[in-house]
């Protein structure tokens, strides 16, 4: 374990858990399906570069990001594996995809022309085409794909390496909406094949579509894009996911001060909590400036000595105050767990999501770079 002294608040990223999750996903999809994990948004808050290196060391075929700058940062960190860009790149910046050997998803002739012009003579740049089968975001509608594929013939420096889509409701128990999307994708794929175009990579499944047992592996094709599951988190609470995943991220802090406040004392900005009796409280140096949501004011909980301790008063930019009346012998410097396990107790990203009325994706991706990451 990394024994470097810990600051006021920090994350511990468990690489062993990450690799165990990769192995579990590989058992689900089989050895003939390539894993292209998603490391966008700083690897869902876990740290893109160290996570990417670990994933590739585990045999993943490549990586997925959302934006051009995310791919460039990975290249600048020495990563040479294939990197797919799943989102939009402005045509005036798309030449960087060639420079950094990134694989873009394009959906306009303007993007294609810019990419073609940037590709050196005698070389080809691989592209992916996204089929909008029902998410209504990026990509081409099914009846737009074949004309676009035909238009690509005028750009002899481009090769259609991948065809893909993304599911809108694969994290729900009812597989019907996802099955409809897969049927639309299959229809487009049949037409593309009839045109004599055979993309190397076909990918439709992110974590939910990989794991939803009701889909019976129908979405796997020959590549998958696991995201949230890689980090040990469930795509939703609505489905009984068939594998055990270990959370990779633990968020910790240290007690900065212990005080006993008399009854009638207002705590933090706005005085939204007033002590009903004499109370022992602990100051914890973490706040919304670290990505710990202000909406957890007077409702969130942390772990101290394996006991849940409620936040009292508003979450500040750099501090929270918690009730430790029921916990004995708390001292300055004691460990505080914001997300993770302490003794027999645990507070999960799903717990925070429940308190906030959101999803675990948002909880982990909003942890800011100010919080140092330690890889263990």
Give pLDDT, residue 2. Answer: 54
Phi-psi region of 30 (alpha: psi -120 to 50; beta: other; left: phi over 0): left
CA gap 38, 229 in Å, rounded? 10
Which pLDDT tens digit goes with each residue over 57-106? 999 999 999 999 999 999 999 999 999 999 999 989 999 999 999 999 99
Are 192 and 330 contained in the same domain? no
The catalytic site residues sit at 40, 269
84 part of a folded domain: yes
169 part of a folded domain: yes
Which pLDDT tens digit goes with each residue over 52-66? 999 999 999 999 999
* Arithmetic mean of pLDDT over the chain: 96
242 part of a folded domain: no
For 339, counting Cβ atoms within 10 Å of its Cβ (0-12 exposed, 13-18 middle, 19+ buried), the class is buried
Which pLDDT tens digit goes with each residue over 114-163? 999 999 999 999 999 999 999 999 999 999 999 999 999 999 999 999 99
Sign of CA dihedral 21, 27, 31, 35: negative
CATH of the domain at 73: 3.20.20.10
CA gap 96, 115 in Å, rounded? 9
Decide if 91 contacts 110 (C-beta within 8 A).
yes
7 part of a folded domain: no
Q: Please indicate if the annotation marks 317 as binding a ligand.
A: yes
Question: Looking at the predicted structure, is the pLDDT value of residue 241 above 80?
Answer: yes
Give pLDDT, residue 306. Answer: 97
How far, CA to CA in Å, does 219 sit from each of 52, 122, 211, 346?
24, 36, 10, 33
Give pLDDT, residue 5. Answer: 76
Pairing of the two strands 266-267 and 373-375: unpaired
Are 166 and 255 contained in the same domain? no
Give the count of domains, the chain.
Answer: 2
CA gap 29, 223 in Å, rounded? 9
Q: If you search the block for the tokens 């930019």, which residue do you land on?
A: 317
CA gap 125, 119 in Å, rounded? 7
Confidence of residue 1 (pLDDT cuts 50, 70, 90): very low
For 265, counting Cβ atoms within 10 Å of its Cβ (0-12 exposed, 13-18 middle, 19+ buried), the class is middle
Confidence (pTM): 0.95
CATH of the domain at 293: 2.40.37.10
Enter the tokens of residue 18: 């990450």
Are 113 and 253 contained in the same domain? no
Domain that holds residue 362: 249-375
Give pLDDT, residue 103. Answer: 98
Enter the tokens of residue 172: 């729900």
As a whole-number percent, the residues of the chain with pLDDT over 70 amount to 99
Pairing of the two strands 320-323 and 335-342: unpaired
Are 128 and 217 contained in the same domain? yes
Which pLDDT tens digit goes with each residue over 150-192? 999 999 999 999 999 999 999 999 999 999 999 999 999 999 9
Give pLDDT, residue 3. Answer: 60
């Amino acid at each position: 374990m990394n024994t470097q002294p810990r600051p006021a608040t920090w994350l511990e990223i468990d690489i062993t858990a990450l690799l165990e999750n990769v192995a579990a996903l590989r058992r689900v999809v089989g050895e003939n399906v390539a894993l292209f994990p998603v490391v966008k948004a700083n690897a869902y808050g876990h740290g893109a570069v160290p996570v990417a290196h670990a994933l590739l060391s585990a045999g993943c075929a490549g990586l997925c990001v959302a934006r051009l700058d995310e791919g460039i940062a990975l290249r600048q960190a020495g990563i040479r594996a294939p990197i797919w860009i799943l989102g939009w790149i402005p045509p005036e910046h798309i030449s960087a995809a060639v420079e950094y050997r990134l694989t873009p998803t394009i959906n306009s002739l303007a993007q294609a022309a810019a990419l073609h012009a940037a590709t050196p003579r005698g070389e080809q740049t691989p592209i992916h085409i996204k089929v909008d089968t029902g998410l209504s975001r990026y990509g081409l509608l099914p009846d737009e794909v074949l004309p676009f594929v035909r238009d690509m013939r005028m750009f002899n420096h481009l090769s259609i390496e991948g065809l893909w889509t993304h599911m809108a409701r694969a994290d729900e128990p009812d597989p019907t909406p996802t099955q409809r999307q897969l049927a639309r994708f299959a229809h487009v794929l049949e037409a593309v094949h009839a045109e004599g175009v055979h993309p190397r990579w076909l990918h439709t499944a992110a974590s939910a579509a990989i794991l939803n047992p009701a889909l019976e592996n129908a979405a796997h094709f020959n590549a998958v894009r696991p995201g949230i599951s890689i980090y040990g988190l469930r795509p939703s609470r609505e489905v009984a996911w068939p594998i055990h995943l270990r959370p990779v991220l633990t968020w910790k802090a240290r007690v900065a001060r212990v005080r006993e406040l008399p009854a009638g004392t207002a705590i933090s900005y706005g005085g939204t909590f007033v002590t009903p009796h004499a109370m022992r409280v602990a100051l914890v140096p973490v706040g919304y400036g670290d990505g710990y949501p202000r909406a957890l004011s007077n409702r969130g909980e942390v772990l101290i000595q394996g006991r849940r301790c409620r936040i009292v008063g508003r979450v500040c930019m750099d501090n929270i105050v918690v009730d430790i009346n029921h916990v004995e012998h708390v001292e300055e410097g004691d460990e505080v767990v914001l997300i993770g396990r302490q003794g027999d107790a645990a507070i999960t990203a799903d717990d925070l999501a429940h308190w906030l009325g959101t999803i675990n994706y948002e909880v982990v991706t909003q942890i800011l770079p100010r919080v140092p990451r330690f890889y263990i």
